[in-house]
Structure 1
């Protein structure tokens, strides 16, 4: 049997020890509940992109639930490398405890919000209750399905959309409170999150109208069937800007800051933005947005910052203990 030359053995050994090897890295994304399908597509795309760029294998795991409930889980010790929530208060409440840096908005473009969406109505096919705008949701006998604003960012956007609609019509705070009170009087059940509300409406067949994010409504039409539901765009709605952040205390302890940061940066890349658009969220990238413009109807919108004094004020006034929502719900 021929022997391998000694020089070749030495060369092989040197090559083996000099070739970089990488351990498998796992990062954990804690997100809100209507982004399951989005991140099921984002995660493998990022994993492949990161492998090609760095040579390192990375796996992204994810968790979904009501946005505010997810934030509470992180506060209670759930080790998220990144959080991808649907409203900034759910990241601020984590930052207030020092788990996320206070400047999290400044670390990524668009105040760390890779896409937008808005609030729309989903009705039974043919719109048998003739629902066209927010006023129709206060009709007696109508059942409106919406998640709980105390646990769900989706629910908070719905509540604030209705409040802002009343203000935009010329009403004051008292008129807005009366309007939202009449709307929530038509809500038979408050689910913990947006996906739970969707299940109540579609599978349990409860309610005449589901108020939810446009992304969820478009996904319903595509995945369950356009023959079962219609989407109604109200005359005015809220612009939601779901934010993202690296969880500093976790990534520094686990040594995953580089991968976690790259993961969130991928959301703003052309490839990430294309996936975002295909999953029915409105992309930030101008070229990608122009390509998909026909899928997202023009809509008059307002923001929490522009009309309602910002999230800090809205959170305290409407959703804090004993706030306006508590008063309405008790009534």
Structure 2
């Protein structure tokens, strides 16, 4: 797990800032406490470092204008499932900004997040969304156009491990959903496709950022499969002349759920700040920033202004294809599930 502080955060050690007990804080002189900005912690998914490095200073300015209070936002990044486990083990995050619903539900089941967390914010508490897309090398030498090209013998794939990464689970489910549609629900053909698809994976990194490093810096693989936002950000960062983005005609709706970790936000004295942080993500200012990072947004005006950067694609919902996330997790990703069985065959 990596820790990142934005440039507006207080210059003290981040871990100590979030781990100090209430007793230790109360022992500080009153003046010293008054001089320190109130701090909060956002635990987020692996590839969101740059996004929230941009969001946080704008939120800080927004909060100060609205509440006449200077605050600081610290970040923790890792695979969303890893982040959820860390919070259950005591990482006192005030909010989570994850890339998969199930990782928030785990926290709700543990009593750390409200059971009705998806009803507390618009769009099922997903202020932005994306889909799964492909990054290929200059000139698209393998002529990759859709999911059926990814099972050819001459194609090697890179994407995160579905066991450890919400990003990877979306990729797996997107491929399965494509096969389900292409083969009209024929289970034998779907499983044959998925076996070939998984067999073409050259490296299973634990998270999205590791997969990016493998593909871009280690120069391994023909196709990187990750969120549409990430492939576009990579191309912009590493060279638009060196990579191409392919958005397949059919893919999956990838929601990015957010929630207040009520147990810790209240203990940290940050309940209002945590809710304010998530409220801010729905403001037009934040929605425009999210679109600048190549995320699709629900704000109609912002979405219309950015429609040219998001190709039309049929977005299949996990609920419609798999019955919902609990069913998908149990059927495909639990020990002995479809993923394990496919990799043993």
Secondary structure of 1:42 counterpart: helix
Among 50, 55, 58, which residue is 1:42 paired with? 55
**Distance in 1 between residues matched to 2:86 and 2:301, nearest whole Å:** 37
Q: Work out whether 1:121 is the aligned partner of 2:134.
A: yes
1:23 to partner: Cα distance: 5.3
Residue 221 of structure 2: which of 196, 204, 207 is its match?
A: 207
Q: How many angstroms apart in 2 are the aligned matches of 1:172 and 1:252?
A: 50
Q: Which runs of 4+ in 1 moved over 4 A?
A: none
Counterpart of 1:88 in structure 2 is: 101
Alpha-carbon distance between aligned partners in 2 of 1:83 and 1:51, rounded to the nearest angstrom: 22
Q: Distance in 2 between matches of 1:203 and 1:324?
A: 32
Residue number in structure 2 paired with 1:149: 162
Match of 1:270 in 2: 284
2:274 is the alignment partner of 1:260: yes
Aligned residues: 311
Match of 2:301, SS state, is helix
Q: Find the counterpart in structure 2 of residue 3 from structure 1.
A: none
Cα distance in 2, alignment partners of residues 23 and 212 from structure 1: 39
- The TM-score normalised by the length of structure 2 is 0.88
In the alignment, is residue 312 of structure 1 matched against residue 326 of structure 2? yes
Q: Give the counterpart of 2:92 among 73, 79, 86.
A: 79
TM-score by length of 1: 0.92
Larger Rg: 1
Aligned counterpart for 1:291 among listed residues 305, 309, 312: 305
Deviates further, 173-182 or 276-285: 173-182
Aligned counterpart in structure 2 of residue 107 of structure 1, from 110, 114, 120 = 120
Query: Deviation of residue 22 (structure 1)?
Result: 7.9
Aligned partner of 2:79 in structure 1 is 66
Map 1:211-230 onto structure 2 (within 5 A): 211-230=225-244
Shift of 1:235: 2.0
SS, match of residue 100 in structure 2: coil
Matched position secondary structure for 2:174: helix
2-structure distance, mates of 1:217, 1:175? 29
Whether 1:131 and 2:147 are equivalent positions in the alignment is no
Alignment partner, residue 339 of structure 2: 325
Is 1:23–1:56's contact at 8 Å kept on the other side of the alignment? no
Equivalent residue number for residue 52 of structure 1: 65
Match of 1:300 in 2: 314
Looking at structure 2, the residues matched to 111 and 312 of structure 1 have their Cα atoms a distance apart, in angstroms, of: 16
Aligned equivalents of 1:33, 1:174: Cα separation in 2: 34
The correspondence for 2:177, drawn from 164, 175, 183, is 164
For structure 2, the 5+ residue unaligned runs are 1-33
* 1:66 Cα deviation from its structure 2 partner: 1.1
Q: Tell me, in whole angstroms, the C-alpha distance in 2 between the residues paired with 1:312 and 1:174.
A: 23
- Runs of 5+ consecutive residues of structure 1 not aligned to the other structure: 1-20
Superposed CA RMSD in Å reads 1.1
1:61-112 superposed Cα distances (whole Å, 9 cap, x missing partner): 0111111111111111111100010010000011111111111101111110
What residue number does 1:191 align with? Answer: 205
